[in-house]
Amino acid sequence: MKKWAWATFWLIAGTGMLVAGIWVEWFNVDFTYFKVNVGWFALVYAALVFTGNVLTLRAMMLTQRELHDWGDALAEATPVILELAEKGDRPREIARELTARYRIPELVSLKYMVALSRVRTLSRDNREKT
């Protein structure tokens, strides 16, 4: 969530610099032949961070093939994942444990943990609404 906040911050800051640059020269950088408002750099950075976040989210989604290949093993491993998470183990350690016990690839188990976290968050949000 911090990366989304960071991108939003730079989006707002860049927009503010562009607007303030109309009245204040502080945000304009002179490159000998032309001037550029620093707000443009902030907006480009915000766009890059947003793009990186979206690509990361897409990469961490379980595919149909992974569900087909590992679905039964993941369902069997779910209690172990929850138990280790409650103990405070880091996701990478849990993924290694699942690889050792169930031969599930680390990346697949990490994607599954992300999916479990999303489901948990959504169910908590739905409970709070009712």
Q: Provide Rg for the chain, Cα atoms.
A: 22
When pLDDT is cut at 50, 70 and 90, the band that residue 64 belongs to is very high
- pLDDT of residue 125 exceeding 90, the answer is no
Question: Within this chain, do residues 24 and 70 fall inside the same structural domain, yes or no?
Answer: no
**Token output for 103:** 């031969």
Question: Within this chain, do residues 18 and 45 fall inside the same structural domain, yes or no?
Answer: yes
Question: Within this chain, do residues 69 and 115 fall inside the same structural domain, yes or no?
Answer: yes
- Could you write out the DSSP letters of every residue in 47-109? HHHHHHHHHHHHHTSPPHHHHHHHHHHHHHHHHHHHHHHHHT--HHHHHHHHHHHH---HHHH
The domain tally of the chain equals 2
Backbone angles phi and psi of 92, in degrees to 5? -65, -40
Question: Within this chain, do residues 75 and 100 fall inside the same structural domain, yes or no?
Answer: yes
Domain of 114 in residue numbering reads as 64-129
**Percent of the chain whose predicted confidence (pLDDT) is above 90:** 58
Question: Within this chain, do residues 41 and 91 fall inside the same structural domain, yes or no?
Answer: no
Question: Within this chain, do residues 70 and 14 fall inside the same structural domain, yes or no?
Answer: no
Query: Would you call 19 helix, strand, or coil by DSSP?
Result: helix
What tens digit of pLDDT does each residue of 69-96 get? 999 999 999 999 999 999 999 999 999 9
